[in-house]
Structure 1
């Protein structure tokens, strides 16, 4: 739940929360196999290094990217489908598996429960130390209910006194303001942090509407605004533990809804979230070798949709009545809701190192979510509220074993997990009904995975993994949303058998290093859940059936000279429908062995960085010139049932560039960026038009 909470407050709280002093036990960060490991001691350097993982370094983060999602799209095996500009909905895909299957973490805490309160792009890049992308297997200490992989944002650790403030202005009336203040009080031994941020954008770029015979219009109802604030108090080596940390956060979001087939003039989403998180951590807890880490969290959110316009229009100005006699532009009922959500969670992680080559770990996470929708406008106009109350209780247990063998050349990471899920709610017996019946759904199951790494030499290692994982369905999938999404109480948990085989080459030299990695992967997914049309305008999650994936990815990163760094990666992923029969019938499946729609299958990225200190003899300065290119081959957004199929997303090729200049020993940093430099038209997610060329200028001040 800190997953939900700490991320917000810990990370949003903005660096201030994270800006805490290192434990006095002084964990030394060591770079091993491309993964940063906290070296408590030689005996405790047991990490899941056999897992398929990509690590995005500080250098790549401080590049041409404006957001975390920008960075992830340049990583091998990752795609991101967006619906628009700043603050728009997006779906992350790792090797073709996407959405709810991918875990999102901040400092190893899941933030999926706060999808409306916080997103990856809310995290200021200046706060991030590195980004870890796990592909296929998620480490035991992170737990969670994900099966396709996970993204873990690792935040920086700040010195005892620190001030960081930045302001960025960009195209489409975009503004970003972030600030962090941290200080240590010697008298009390406590460290205090406070921070906040503001993101606003009109997103008023021009777009071509393929759905409307190529009409070109300017987005006129896509305003986005988010305010974030938080604080923390940290105590090291007090009250019997190595660290106590109390964090709080506040988030306020406003997002207008942009129409494509027809304009939307007044509908918008809104939300407010507050939360608190208490972390407790100690090494050698109870007895030597046992490390203890526990985080207790609470989050309260109040959010809803405002949609009660009494008139609609077309792009040519033609006027239409609302979707119902009571108003609305989107649904067949109006809405002016203020739903309340309460989230409680506790995460416990115990790691026992009982020899120089073996360790056991136990992960346990309990989470309870209670939804209490409220829409007085619906109740007044229609006599009932379409969204119904519900609750979800989940438990995840994981037992892991890590061991070295063959003179520490072989590392094995074995994990077994148990999942339990219970959900209660109310459903309508048929679409449009104004009476609701109670329903309860529960399920449990097991999963297991094994990852191996063999060190052939100091520079070359082999990795392999095999996983039999599952993902429990979410509340929305099981119980719907009370109206437009129909319940599907018989939905089964998704099951996946996945494997990975890879090679990693690393070579360090005087002025840098070179890394080359190649991975081949395969996945067979059963009971795949997809959102499909149901009755009238309603939709429903259904068990699609089986899907299989084969793919290969490769990446090279190298310091070519003391002044030039370059990288390139490419991914090919072939996802196919392997259902023999149509669901619920004996008819042959017409899309058998057809490529899965709306998922890119061929993509690549490349870029370089030129850097030089004290350019032109100006002491205390550093100059960086960066350029990144991204390529996504065309793909269908519906099944290809004919060679004349026209439902396709065209090939996308974009180039971003940036210039960063720091002076006064890094106290002042000025960054200029250009995205989509060639102003190429590109689309995503069922032909959603994305922004064209844009520019931004950022000024940052650091005092430490």
Structure 2
């Protein structure tokens, strides 16, 4: 009867609005008035709210107990203090049903008063008979996220606000993750997850895609203190994220503290300076909300590298020696603002946002250090206005909707006009032609519209449906001052994406499951060069459109209250991005023929957590399988002027495993370690030959070999000590040590060429230490850090050396009211 009532309510609402739909503008205004009036009336006059606390037999708070209003979809989980609050409850006598893993179900009758908040006395709940030995303990938001069916690792950033490391470097502490940097602060980086990298892994900020944010607003530039936690999905993604990720995603969850201010400044080696300001204000009465995130970064990046020295008069390498980088300065800054209203009858939140960011980057090298530049510069500017809206119980109980819309204007500038040739000593000789790599003074304009709409419906307290659609349209225009008549720059390039997802969630105490399907569509307008290097060479405009269907499922089950098993499968697609198809105008070459890559992904895993008196253990182990087709791989051309580019590689198969262990003793000691092995192999046995030597089917020379330039074995370890009330009351002294290790790997396929000529990224280990002191419960903080303690030669990419030993000092001030 309950479901028929809900359907009837929805039908009646639509019937009341149908006559107005003949007049569109009138319909819109009446619809807005109807929504506002309907909710104002129902919430303020016919419904009420309740709040209270759930405790155990010892009057200790119980977290994650589910408090449900019987016969409705209303329900909330208790927080870490055992509190809950449920609004929109019909007035009158209602029955609360309290359940949870290891808890004996309890029913409590409450009289709900209309238009007010009813205070409920503490509800005492007992452990179930079969699980008397299980202690119910609190769970953080990070832990709750990990208990979902998805293969997800959660980085709790709150404990890392005092570090000077970027968010990208912090993610290296998660198994299966590698963040590979080309150099120092602000350098290009590649994020790798389970062997998938670049755009195969998607990034989000509070569920909003970051594809259109520009190079100046990314994991390497935004401050650590901006985030509350980071969710790393290793495979299947929630439907509401609406992305075309092939191998996973990273969702940065920003801080939701209502009223706080967090300011920090650090300085260190290589004239590096970083500043950050984060804060928020919410008026509890009016719901007015204002949020600010700002950052500034600067570095000369003049660290020493062991580089090849070329005699400019002969063009031959004479030796290798330690030299300082001299054209590698970096500056970036950005502001993210959001303001609007929260907790209103017409919106849970209605927020207007704006992102502005900018960076200036001196380009020291090409794709390897064999190319050295003295005057190449790049710059980018981003301006992104946006709107976010969300409302639960829209029209009928259990129906929720959210909308995000943004317009992105990102301009990228590249200047390479010097008629010079440099070596690593900073010496130069004149060239007959302008441009150290390619003569250009170009401006690339990227304009993008993004809309993400999500609707979900709770069928009952255990089932829900979610429908999500994301649309993005990117248009690129190029103008080059030194080549204004270039025919290729006169052809606008455009890329449109539509991704629609439908998901079904089933959730019970000991297990939950997700089943979903996604429809992908890509359309592009670009140009190609035909009959290159012949008298008939010409440019022609080309258009393309592709549609694909993906699907999958994720399942988790608690074998024991502390032992969780997970399994997930997805047939996923990833659509090429504009920078892959159209290039970057400098080092990265264009490839408009890129096809969507697809992969069958399987993840399995076990998670165990146990607390024995003051000792807490958390252990995770998992396995991965990836079978990818049309794999998009970034390659490097080893010429005197190296470039990079993306290409489809027929078939790639991945097997791997990962494991991690974390240990805590009281608030004094914490330690952890993880290891990852991932074996990516070329499974394309035959390929079609369309070349000057003739057409036909030939055997693939690299069949069965490991994919090059991808780390396959790596790990991390850390140890930390914390001493409370050290020297003064409400203070904390901390000491942290971390180890990052990676096994050496080949730049190109290991089976090709002579052994002595094969290029490798060597095995390496780096050590970082830090000492911190917090006063007045974290209000004042001072941190000393040393990275690459052993001053080792470190490489994430072939012949692109990272900084040596560096020291940093950070000051941080935090208040919360």
1:73 counterpart SS class? helix
Residue 54 of structure 1 deviates from its aligned partner by 0.8
Residue 183 of structure 1 deviates from its aligned partner by 3.2
Aligned to 2:117: none
Alignment of 1:385-534 (within 5 A): 386=489, 388-404=491-507, 408-429=509-530, 436-479=539-582, 488-508=591-611, 511=614, 513-531=616-634
1:116 is aligned to 2:215: yes
Q: Could you tell me how far apart the structure 2 residues matched to 1:96 and 1:474 are?
A: 19
Alignment of 1:567-646 (within 5 A): 567-584=672-689, 585-616=696-727, 618-641=728-751, 642-644=754-756, 646=758
Aligned to 1:564: 669
Q: Could you tell me how far apart the structure 2 residues matched to 1:590 and 1:666 are?
A: 59
Q: Is the 8 A contact 2:225 2:278 kept in 1?
A: no
Q: Is the 8 A contact 1:374 1:385 kept in 2?
A: no
Q: Could you tell me how far apart the structure 1 residues matched to 2:213 and 2:419 are?
A: 32
Q: Is the 8 A contact 1:394 1:422 kept in 2?
A: yes
CA, structure 1 residues 37+321, in 2 after alignment: closer, same or farther (shift >3 Å)?
farther
1:106 is aligned to 2:217: no
Aligned to 2:361: 255
Q: 2:464 aligns with which of 359, 374, 389?
A: 359
Structure 1 residues 361-400: Cα deviation after superposition (integer angstroms, max 9, x where no partner)? 1111111111122223321xx6656474211111111001
Alignment of 1:308-347 (within 5 A): 308-315=417-424, 319-322=428-431, 325=433, 327-331=434-438, 334-347=439-452
CA, structure 1 residues 657+531, in 2 after alignment: closer, same or farther (shift >3 Å)?
closer
Q: Is the 8 A contact 1:427 1:482 kept in 2?
A: no
Residue 697 of structure 1 deviates from its aligned partner by 0.5
Residue 159 of structure 1 deviates from its aligned partner by 2.6
1:243 is aligned to 2:349: yes
Aligned to 1:21: none
CA, structure 1 residues 189+131, in 2 after alignment: closer, same or farther (shift >3 Å)?
closer
Aligned to 2:105: none
Structure 1 residues 605-631: Cα deviation after superposition (integer angstroms, max 9, x where no partner)? 111111121014x10211111111111
Q: Could you tell me how far apart the structure 2 residues matched to 1:551 and 1:429 are?
A: 42
2:239 counterpart SS class? coil
1:586 counterpart SS class? strand
Residue 533 of structure 1 deviates from its aligned partner by 7.6
Q: Could you tell me how far apart the structure 2 residues matched to 1:534 and 1:431 are?
A: 19
Q: Is the 8 A contact 1:423 1:475 kept in 2?
A: no
Residue 229 of structure 1 deviates from its aligned partner by 2.0
CA, structure 1 residues 678+195, in 2 after alignment: closer, same or farther (shift >3 Å)?
same
Alignment of 1:120-135 (within 5 A): 120-135=219-234
Unaligned ranges ≥5, structure 2: 1-48, 54-61, 66-76, 87-97, 101-143, 310-316, 690-695
Q: Is the 8 A contact 1:427 1:487 kept in 2?
A: no
Aligned to 2:785: 673
Q: Is the 8 A contact 2:570 2:601 kept in 1?
A: yes
CA, structure 1 residues 512+70, in 2 after alignment: closer, same or farther (shift >3 Å)?
farther
Q: Is the 8 A contact 1:571 1:602 kept in 2?
A: yes
Residue 52 of structure 1 deviates from its aligned partner by 1.0
Q: CA RMSD in A?
A: 3.1
Residue 489 of structure 1 deviates from its aligned partner by 4.6
CA, structure 1 residues 701+139, in 2 after alignment: closer, same or farther (shift >3 Å)?
same
Q: 1:203 aligns with which of 265, 279, 301?
A: 301
2:482 counterpart SS class? helix
Structure 1 residues 641-698: Cα deviation after superposition (integer angstroms, max 9, x where no partner)? 2544531111110111111111122111111111111111111212211111111101
TM-score after normalising by structure 2: 0.76
Q: Could you tell me how far apart the structure 2 residues matched to 1:269 and 1:26 are?
A: 55
1:173 is aligned to 2:283: no
Q: Is the 8 A contact 1:426 1:436 kept in 2?
A: yes
Residue 191 of structure 1 deviates from its aligned partner by 2.1
Residue 240 of structure 1 deviates from its aligned partner by 1.3
Q: 1:83 aligns with which of 160, 177, 182?
A: 182
Q: Is the 8 A contact 1:512 1:562 kept in 2?
A: no
CA, structure 1 residues 251+593, in 2 after alignment: closer, same or farther (shift >3 Å)?
same
CA, structure 1 residues 475+252, in 2 after alignment: closer, same or farther (shift >3 Å)?
closer
The worse-fitting range, judged by mean Cα deviation, of 209-218 and 89-98 is: 209-218
CA, structure 1 residues 184+317, in 2 after alignment: closer, same or farther (shift >3 Å)?
closer
Q: Could you tell me how far apart the structure 2 residues matched to 1:92 and 1:692 are?
A: 21
Q: Is the 8 A contact 2:374 2:426 kept in 1?
A: no
Residue 289 of structure 1 deviates from its aligned partner by 0.8
The worse-fitting range, judged by mean Cα deviation, of 213-222 and 650-659 is: 213-222
TM-score after normalising by structure 1: 0.88
Q: Is the 8 A contact 2:64 2:78 kept in 1?
A: yes
Q: Is the 8 A contact 1:304 1:336 kept in 2?
A: yes
Q: Could you tell me how far apart the structure 1 residues matched to 2:614 and 2:636 are?
A: 57
The worse-fitting range, judged by mean Cα deviation, of 47-56 and 670-679 is: 47-56
Q: Could you tell me how far apart the structure 2 residues matched to 1:48 and 1:666 are?
A: 30
Q: Larger RCO: Structure 1 or Structure 2 (Cα < 8 Å, ≥ 6 residues apart)?
A: 1
1:593 counterpart SS class? coil
Structure 1 residues 563-592: Cα deviation after superposition (integer angstroms, max 9, x where no partner)? 101101111111111121245353322222
Q: Could you tell me how far apart the structure 2 residues matched to 1:85 and 1:149 are?
A: 26
Unaligned ranges ≥5, structure 1: 1-23
1:639 counterpart SS class? coil
Structure 1 residues 25-48: Cα deviation after superposition (integer angstroms, max 9, x where no partner)? 99999779xxx9999978999998
Residue 477 of structure 1 deviates from its aligned partner by 3.7
1:373 counterpart SS class? strand
Residue 158 of structure 1 deviates from its aligned partner by 2.2
Residue 225 of structure 1 deviates from its aligned partner by 0.3
Structure 1 residues 525-584: Cα deviation after superposition (integer angstroms, max 9, x where no partner)? 111123458999887643211111111110011213441011011111111111212453
Structure 1 residues 293-344: Cα deviation after superposition (integer angstroms, max 9, x where no partner)? 111111112221011112222336764554x73x11122xx21122222111
Q: 2:386 aligns with which of 268, 277, 288?
A: 277
CA, structure 1 residues 409+48, in 2 after alignment: closer, same or farther (shift >3 Å)?
closer
Q: Could you tell me how far apart the structure 2 residues matched to 1:513 and 1:633 are?
A: 30
Residue 495 of structure 1 deviates from its aligned partner by 1.1
CA, structure 1 residues 262+31, in 2 after alignment: closer, same or farther (shift >3 Å)?
farther
Q: 1:370 aligns with which of 475, 494, 505?
A: 475
1:286 counterpart SS class? coil
Residue 215 of structure 1 deviates from its aligned partner by 2.9
The worse-fitting range, judged by mean Cα deviation, of 135-144 and 585-594 is: 585-594
Q: Is the 8 A contact 1:337 1:375 kept in 2?
A: yes
